[in-house]
Structure 1
Amino acid sequence: MARKRSTSRSRFPALPPMRPWLRRIGVGLLAALAALILLYSAVTPPFTPYMLAERARLGGIAHQTVDMDDIAPVMARSVVAAEDANFCRHWGFDMRAIRSAVAAGSNRGASTLSQQVAKNVFLWQGRSWVRKALEAVLTPAVELVWTKRHLLEVYLNVAEFGEGVFGVQAAAQHYFGVDAADLTSRQAARLAAILPDPKRRDPVRPTAFVDGRARAAASGAATIRADGRSDCFEG
């Protein structure tokens, strides 16, 4: 008697195996990112993907890389105070800020300087789950390999401070006609105050909102210096 052929099918068919070429591309991208993380632990990135995009869009940008020793210490403290006051005390993610943001139903204030560096240096702008997932992987890797001082140096050199203005040296010259090393506490606080929305804020003619942020940044800079929360990048 002929054996009856089974016609039952699985309700959830098996997914096809990952193609070898796709696997090789994935491994190659991870290896390239790892190599860049190691390379940039010793040197400041000369450009970022966003800088290249803005250069193509605008026809040019203002940017000049400077060493941390050539940036006024009060500028570094002001940015940390304004953007990530616990920068020296976390490993890339500020869990307290994240929990507060989730409770408030917002992600505002939850992104650390470490996360911003990972995004700005290695990834693209815009919001997507793919980018956020890659950022979550890259941030602790950067924190593991780079020193806090170098991480902040990179941030200050690649952050956008206005349309076509990248890095604190270009910002200091563009807005105040001085080098980053010569920024006063007032000027530093105003530059910190326009982050993270520099295209719609002006440090020279600040609105009441920006002026309030600048005062808070100046006060915060003095506070983190006094309580030791700037020790990891100063000295």
Structure 2
Amino acid sequence: MFWLKTHLSYFLKCVVFGIVAMQIYFVIQIALWSVLQPSSTAFQRAERWRLCNWHWSCAIESSWTPYQKISSNLKRAILVSEDDIFFQHHGVRLEDMQKAWERNQQKGTQAVRGGSTITQQLAKNLFLSAEKNYFRKAQELVITGLLELILSKQRLFEIYMNAVEWGEGIFGVGAAAQHYFVTTPAALSRDQAAALASALPAPKCFDKIKYCRKASIHFPTRQAFILENMDRIVLPRP
């Protein structure tokens, strides 16, 4: 019995140490991103592996665009589509999370879906796997708090727009603007911005029909909604 207690205590200490060390890693990495650009995200690396495996050449499109060189049309469109009070909240929207919790209780305990702010989406894309469970959701909330604490809202939004998926192997606004409209992020029109923002809930489906089997989104309707609501979004001054 003593042997079992000793080994159990050692195991628990290792688990706690591992969790604490992971949070310290997150803090250091996020702090570095206040001055450096993320080279890639966990989601991008997973997609690169899915699409390319061990191949050296791979059709992954990504290029960094500074915040000031991204059209205000796109910024407003994204906020309407994904998180219209992003610049007012502190990382989470409790009412939306409550609604998501209730939906998941009705569907069982397999998936956590909905209710995610831009910061939560960024936390997931930067560090976490696509696996859906409550432990991963809890870690997402911790990372969300760290992101909000360490980085400014503008910096969070800048990283999000440069990291988010916009199609198969297409990441960030620079690659998306070029891929869909052969233009730069600064030159995106209202219609183009609304189209790109409408893609965010199901970017692979927006890009290629073969990914639409699991998607239940009507992009033209969503684009029209975004266009109707863009003008009510007021962007903070840089």
Task: Provide the secondary structure at the position in 2 that maps to 1:88.
Answer: coil
Residues 166/14 of structure 1: CA separation in 2 closer, same or farther (3 Å cut): same
Residues 108/25 of structure 1: CA separation in 2 closer, same or farther (3 Å cut): closer
Residues 102/134 of structure 1: CA separation in 2 closer, same or farther (3 Å cut): closer
Report if aligned partners of 2:168, 2:207 keep a CA contact under 8 Å in 1.
no
1:74 partner letter: N
**Residue 3 of structure 1: aligned partner:** none
Report if aligned partners of 2:91, 2:145 keep a CA contact under 8 Å in 1.
yes
**Residue 217 of structure 1: aligned partner:** 226
**Superposition pairs of residues 7-26 of structure 1, within 5 angstroms:** 16-19=8-11, 20-26=13-19
**Superposition pairs of residues 17-36 of structure 1, within 5 angstroms:** 17-19=9-11, 20-36=13-29
Scaled by the length of structure 1, the TM-score of the pair is: 0.82
**Superposition pairs of residues 196-207 of structure 1, within 5 angstroms:** 196-202=201-207
Matching of residue 135 in structure 1 with residue 140 in structure 2: yes
**Residue 96 of structure 1: aligned partner:** 95
Alignment RMSD = 2.5
**Residue 211 of structure 2: aligned partner:** none
Post-superposition shift, 1:94? 0.8
Scaled by the length of structure 2, the TM-score of the pair is: 0.81
Percent identity (aligned): 33
Report if aligned partners of 1:82, 1:220 keep a CA contact under 8 Å in 2.
no
**Residue 5 of structure 1: aligned partner:** none
May I ask how many residue pairs the two structures share in their alignment?
Answer: 215
Q: Pick the structure with more helix per residue.
A: 2
Whose Rg is larger? 1
Runs (5+) with no aligned partner, structure 1: 1-8
Task: Please give the alpha-carbon distance, in whole angstroms, between the structure 2 residues aligned to 1:113 and 1:146.
Answer: 13
CA deviations on 1:78-132 (whole Å, 9 max, x unpaired) are: 1011000111111000122223444566865411001001111121222122211
Report if aligned partners of 1:83, 1:109 keep a CA contact under 8 Å in 2.
no
Of stretches 98-107 and 50-59 in structure 1, the one that deviates more from structure 2 is 98-107
Runs (5+) with no aligned partner, structure 2: 53-57, 209-215
Task: Provide the secondary structure at the position in 1 that maps to 2:166.
Answer: strand
